[in-house]
Structure 1
């Protein structure tokens, strides 16, 4: 027998998520358990946070990582947990859910890469505040940068020896710093 997962309203999802020991993303009325992160994933996120956090001190922008929800109202309240998020809009002040990031970074795993490249890319680009979306591979030294342009979204692929230029926060990060201590 096949059981259908019950649909949730956005309010029901938020209430459920507050009491759940496991994180879930929310898309089209369905809650989906998040995959566990491995050591490489964790190291890449820590390296990114280590590079970005000192740069943002005193700017009023906030760096959030791993455990902060992002809701996209224009995507039927789709809600995700980006690996790294920067919010510079002080009106985005809910302590549990953000809606106006200028920068989002996802670390791709073999289990999440397709979701990050398709669904999240599509939904993230609906955010008016978003200036850049970055996808970082954890299986090879490869970074993809999507940047908002007056005529659409530009994409740039980076590899060994290059630097990630984040215009949204005026910061350059060498890929060698992103992948420091990561075993590929």
Structure 2
């Protein structure tokens, strides 16, 4: 996460009001506001690949995919985030206008500047969401997907999908995306983590 965009602490109501007037997106975490910086092409392509594939597979069912322009409210830690991709199966979220609160699946595409926060404090915040069943981190440079699935009240199971392992299973939605589909149109040579 970058340096705060503003020095004055906000409460979340003031943040929501202020952000509506801003040309750029800002995340809010415990009274501090952080500007969202532009993403690299590969980041955007991978997030779009995932969102498009999920939208197609979820069509006609109770779950809906959302992209990074929709906020997520994590009330337990007083935060609003913009996950790269979210899926909610909750009718309350489908009726929401400004932000979701009951996602089933959250996906973050990692960047060098956000990876530590996405793995650490943000994941800790996400774990407070009672409806969240799965959290996936997508590392474009390594062609790796780390999927954390809730197995108990305080237990999360990691499933690591690396390079050409075929399919990435999102158990929370009972569906599969191929690793090739996720990384389609990404030319970067994967980093080697095998050794």
Question: In which range does the TM-score fall when normalised by the shorter chain?
Answer: over 0.9
Q: Contact 2:142/2:163 (CA < 8 Å) preserved in 1?
A: no
**From 103, 126, 129, the counterpart of 1:127:** 129
**From 105, 108, 112, the counterpart of 1:106:** 108
Q: Which residue does the alignment assign to 1:91?
A: 92
Question: Deviation string for 1:22-64 (max 9, x for gaps)?
Answer: 1000011010001211100011011102211111111021110
Aligned-residue CA RMSD (Å)? 1.1
Moved over 6 A (4+): none
Question: Deviation string for 1:123-155 (max 9, x for gaps)?
Answer: 001100000000001212111010000261111
**From 148, 155, 160, the counterpart of 2:158:** 155
Distance 1:87 1:123 in 2: 17
Q: Contact 1:88/1:101 (CA < 8 Å) preserved in 2?
A: yes
With structure 2 as the length reference, what TM-score do the two structures score? Answer: 0.89
SS in 2 for 1:135: strand
Q: Contact 2:104/2:132 (CA < 8 Å) preserved in 1?
A: yes
Shift of the alpha carbon at 1:161?
1.8
Q: Which residue does the alignment assign to 1:42?
A: 44
Which residues in structure 2 correspond to 1:74-85 (within 5 Å)? 74-75=76-77, 77-85=78-86
Which residues in structure 2 correspond to 1:13-32 (within 5 Å)? 13-32=15-34
Distance 1:138 1:21 in 2: 28
Gaps of 5+ in 2: 1-5, 189-195
Distance 2:118 2:89 in 1: 23
Shift of the alpha carbon at 1:101?
0.1
